[in-house]
Structures are given as C-alpha cells and as structure tokens.
Amino acid sequence: MDKKVFLKDTGYTQSRELSWLKFNQRVLAEANDKSVPLFERLKFLAIFSGNLDEFYMIRVGSLFDLSLLKEVNIDNKTGDTPEQQLKKVFKACPPLYKTKDKTYAALERMLTRQKISRVGFKDITGDEKKLLDRYFKTQIAPILSPQIIDAHHPFPHLENKTLSIAVMMKSKDKILYGFIPVPRLLPKIFYLSEDPLTYILTEDIIARYAESLFDMYTVVEKAIVCVTRNADISPDDETYEVDNDFRQHIQKILKKRARLSPVRLELSCEISDSFSEFLQGKLNLKSEQVFVTASPLNMSYVYQLEGKLPEAVKAGLLYPPHKPLAPPTVNLSAPIWRQVAKKDLLLSYPYDSMQPLLSFIKQSAFDPAVVSIKITLYRIDNKSRLAEYLIDAAENGKDVTVLMELRARFDEQNNINWAQRLEEAGCRVIYGVEGYKVHAKLCLVTRLSNDRLQYITQVGTGNYNEKTARLYTDYSLMTADEDIADDANLFFKNMLSGNVKGHYERLLVAPSEFKSGIMALIDREIVKAEAGGNGRILMKINSISDRDIIDKLSEASRAGVVVEMIVRGICCIVPGIKGKTENISIISIVGRFLEHARVYCFGEYGVDMTMYIASSDVMTRNTERRVEAACPVLDGEVKKRIYDMLMVQLADNVKARRLKPGKKYAAIPSEPDERLDSQAFFIRQTPEDTLQ
C-alpha cells in the first residue's frame, strides 16, 4: 500500500505509544481498585513500574534510533515523526508518575495499619539504628565501590536499571561529584522486625551512610538515581559472519545492550539545577527525560516482601489461592495421545492445568512407538520440566528437533543456556530463521505403530512456560487432525531450510499467509453484509497496530459488518467513529491474570463461523516480520467452549473498560447484582460445570 495513504488523517487511528501508556494506566488503576486485595494492589504498582521501564527501553529507545536516521520515518497511524512521537510520550508520562506516587503513599499507609511498614531513618529507634550501623559496616560497606569524578576518575558507566547514589560535594571552594553503585548481589530489603513486619530498602541504607564513604568532602546533596538505557537491539540488524556461532553472536549483543545510550533518568528527590544539569550533560539527556518520583525507583522488592507477610493477615492481603486443574475429560494416568486421537483437547490456562501437555511430552519421551518430537520454543521457564522431557526423549533415541528462538527479548540468556543443554543431550537445535523471529507455538509428535504413522499436533497462543501458564490466559489445542499434522510437518521442514514463504492448507502462517488470510476472511464478511446478510467479526487479541488490517476493519464497519474486539493493550483503531468505525466496539480487560490468548472468529456462531487460535497479534511486527501460526478450531465442542468464554468476557462489567470514540477508556456501568468479572467467573466454575 502507498505510504501516502497512511499519512492521510482518517480520523479512526491513534498513536501506538499513547495507546500503550493508556494500557499501563489501566494497570495502575488496578492498584487503586479497592476491590483488589491490598498487597495485590502493591504488586500491580510494581507491574506498572516494570512495564514503564520496558516501554522506555524498547519503544522510546526505538524512537530515538529512528530520530537519528537521515531518512524521515513517518508513523502510519498519526503522521508524526519520531521526534513528535517522543514529545507526546514525554508530555504523557509526568501525570502517570504523579498518580503512581500518590497511589504508593496511600498503599503504604494502609499496609502500615496491617503492621507492614517500610521505614526511613527518621522512624527508627536507637536499638534499630545500632542494628543498621552494624549491618552497614559488616555486610554492605566492604563491597561498595564509591567513586569520585575528577580528571583521573571519569564519569562511570551507570548500568541499565541499576541503582546508584549520586552525590554532590564540596572540597574547599570546589564542587565535586561522586557515585555509589548499589551492588546487584545485595538483598533488596533489610528486615528490622518480622512481627510487626518492618523493613528498609538497601538503597536507602546506602544513601543514609553516603557521607561516611566520602568523608574527605562535605556532602551538599544526594539522591538515589536510576538510568534507563535503550535496549532495542535487533540481532537481525547486526552484521555477523555466517560461519560464526549464532549463540556467541547473541551473547555479544547482550553485552552491547548494557552500554547503549540512556533514554531516561529517575531521581528519588528533587535536586538543584546545577546538580541536575551535571547529570543531564554527562548522560546526554534533556530535562523532559528526567523524572522525580517519591516511590522506590525499583519496585521488584515487592515480590520478595510477599514471602515475609505475616500469616495472620496474609489471606486478607492476597488473592485467594488458585490451583489450575486438569479438565475432567483427561485421564493423566492413561496415554494422552490415545485420548487426543479420539477427540481434540483444549486447555484454557490458567483455569486448566498445563499438566496434560507436560504428561503428553513426558509419555512421548518414553513411548517406544514415538519416533520424533518437533517443537518451537520462545520463552520457557528457567526450570522447565518440558525441556527436561525433551532431553529425556533425545537420550532415549527419539529424533528431537527444537527451534529455539534466541532473540526472545530479555530471555536471550535463558534460551542460550537451554539450547546448550538440549544440544548436549542430542537434540537437533536450530535458531530460527534469518531476518524473522519465530514466535509460533507449535509441537508435532510422530508415532510409528503397526507400520502406520500417527500424529498429534499441539498449537498454542502462549509459550511453553509452566510459570506463565499459571498467570496468563492462553489456549493450547491438541489434535490428531491429519491435515493440520501435514501442515505442521511442512512448517518444520520449511524452518529447517529457512523458507518462510511456504503455502499451507490449514494453518495461517506469517509472514507468508497469516495477514492475507485474515484480510480474505474480513472480505468474506464484507461480501455477506453487502449482500444483505449478517457479517460478523469477533477478535480477542493483545494489540492491534497493523494499518492494512485496521483499514480493512474500517471497510467492514462501513459495509455493515458487526465487529467486536477484546484488545488488552495497544489499540491503534478507534471505534465508534460515524461513517468509519461506527460498527466496531472494543473493550480491554485488565485483572488478576494477564489476558494473552488470541482468537479470530469470522461469521455467525452456529451458522458459518470460522475460528482460529493464534500466536500472532495484529501488529506489523507479527504479520510481516515474524513467523507465526494460526490454527483453525474444527471440533464443535472446542469451538463452543472458546466462543462461550468470549461471550462471558464481552459481558464483563467489572474489569472490562470500553474504548470510546474520544480515545478514552471508560468503566461499563452496571447494577451491583448484575456485575460480572469474567476472570473471577472462570475461577469460580468447577471443571464439570464451566460453560455448560
């Protein structure tokens, strides 16, 4: 499509970056939701903070890179240059910091009433001060490396997202600066008491004793600081020799990422103009890239604190425990392949357990009839049982092929470690396809019994990760359908040969056919609507930014197709615009579990609906620059189960927020006795009565 078309103001698109910030604002809203247990609210605040860190590392870092190019890059949703996009981001962030600080202060006050207190030095007693003095002198001071900045000591490299104490000092009439990096190996928290639970953060301790570390000078100002660096390195954009080991190349990229340019500076308190100008000058940052926040600069300590919560109040501070269960139709003690051969099996995480899939891989590792296992791995647990079963399979003589994507951002090192272990066990490990990340979730197990090949194919919307399967909502489909197995076989054959342009009969595989397949299915509904029929589209996705598909959905709306969408995060299409998107409605659900499943439905349920589950969102990176897989749902009962779950989510009026034509999200009003929280609904149901 001509770029000039993209630049025309259509009135129904919005900024990807600002849309993402609105998503994170909905995460922040969970920290302010009084119906959420108190400590869970603090965790939502930590999630908000971590999300914002990644946003600056990736999206802001990427925009800075684009702004340096000679060629002008224009955003195809807004018509903005990278500089204009950055300006809007920097304007949108200060209110978020202000809300975050206000929320944190309120949560701290409420936790104090529950006898859980983070304290400062002004709050501690004489005995506690002696305890801290001893702790600092014996456990902290010996491993600190305070550094003065002068002609012989250059400005240090401040590592990405690590804390330091920045100090401004006087020596006679001379102003000097110094830094005290907070060692990563130190515990994040020091507990003064466990009943009541009283604690202090390590960076606060070091800041308190900063004067003793620079006792030759007079400390004038000090602040805890944290630099966020651009982490948007794409290994495909880096040159490397074909003969080089790709694992070694990725490890070099990881080292380079740690030294990329700063994109943000966070401070624990206001500092003087001269101090700020010094830091900005050394880090090459503008004032709009500097943020002062009263809440901790690194909130990952919250997850450690959870394990120390007093038992007497713990239950009231956290969500009730949720234990995923295997569906009642699955017999874990019997061969899973035999059960799937009779009927397709759907697992809906985290309501269903991942155990049936793990049992299937484990059984396959020791099944004499199994000849091969082929699987894609993108993000896996660092203690992955599934990977251990693949190792068992290889050691038992099975032909095991693992397509390990080393470029899964921030999981690169974990994937490198597993790739080495899998190779050592005898697995054939390949590292994706040059120029494309392999994001598809696909597994194929082949059996040879009575001279006949039997196949079980598993396709998922989420990763093969036991940890996230308890936290993310995802679908995992296991089927014995031979046409799907033929496509899966072809998929792995193509990946081994580096072919991303293959044709498939059942699967929609990006970058070759996923986008065109979705566009064709939208066209099908347009034709129906224009002929006087009931065109309908239903999507549940994480993000939508692909301009071609956005324009096609607008065309569908203008033709009278009813389009309903559940979009958790980035949403660059604006619904409800008269004459453009008035037949499109969009909600976002943010709650206890991360909504991660992708489902694409075209047509009316019970009449002519075509349904796919997929690894792909509607983003250009997914549709054009990644290898993705969408699988048709052919079993009637599985299709009904997924459709019913979508209907419950569309009826959610507790956690759902509706996107309005004005680009804002609004709560959905309801009477108290009509309230429906879809995530809570699914937890309440037993496996036997869910959606029956």
End-to-end CA distance of the chain: 46
Rounded Cα distance, 226 and 265, in Å: 6
Asked if 392 and 369 count as a contact pair (C-beta separation under 8 A), the reply is no
Largest CA distance in the chain: 91
Long-range pairs for 127-134: beta carbons < 8 A, 24 or more residues apart = 128/192, 131/192, 132/190, 132/192, 132/200, 132/205, 132/208
Per-position DSSP letters for 142-195, written without gaps between them: GG---EEEBTTBPPPP--TT-EEEEEEEEETTEEEEEEEE--TTS-SEEEEEET
Which run of H or E residues covers position 391? helix 385-395
> Residue 579: which region, alpha, beta or left (left: phi > 0; alpha: psi -120 to 50)?
left
339-362 in b/e form (b: 16+ CB < 10 A) is: bbeeebbbbbbbbbbbbbbbbbbb
DSSP state of 573: B
Q: Which residue type occupies 605?
A: Y
Cis upstream peptide for 368 (omega within 30°)? no
Asked if 199 and 191 count as a contact pair (C-beta separation under 8 A), the reply is yes
Contacts of 128 (CB under 8 A, 6+ apart): 192
Contacts of 551 (CB under 8 A, 6+ apart): 10
Rounded to 5 degrees, what are φ and ψ at 79?
A: 80, 10
Of 453, 469, 444, 462, which Cα lies nearest the Cα of 390? 444
- Give the CA distances from residue 389 to residues 350, 371, 386, 425, in Å, rounded to whole numbers and listed in that order: 21, 15, 5, 11
Of 183, 165, 156, 176, which Cα lies nearest the Cα of 262? 156
Per-position DSSP letters for 598-663, written without gaps between them: EEEEES-TTTT-EEEEES--BSHHHHHHEEEEEEE---HHHHHHHHHHHHHHHT--SSEEEEPTTS
Rounded Cα distance, 690 and 692, in Å: 6
- Give the CA distances from residue 638 to residues 344, 347, 611, 659, in Å, rounded to whole numbers and listed in that order: 7, 10, 10, 29
- Tell me the torsion sign for CA atoms 64, 96, 91, 74: positive
Rounded Cα distance, 562 and 537, in Å: 6
Contacts of 250 (CB under 8 A, 6+ apart): 235, 406, 407, 412, 416
Residues marked active site are found at 439
Contacts of 225 (CB under 8 A, 6+ apart): 158, 163, 164, 165, 166, 265, 266, 267, 268, 279, 297
Rounded Cα distance, 345 and 339, in Å: 8
Asked if 229 and 57 count as a contact pair (C-beta separation under 8 A), the reply is yes
Cα dihedral 284, 286, 288, 291, rounded to 10, equals 40
Rounded to 5 degrees, what are φ and ψ at 400?
A: -110, 120
Give the count of beta carbons closer than 10 Å to the beta carbon of residue 159. Answer: 15
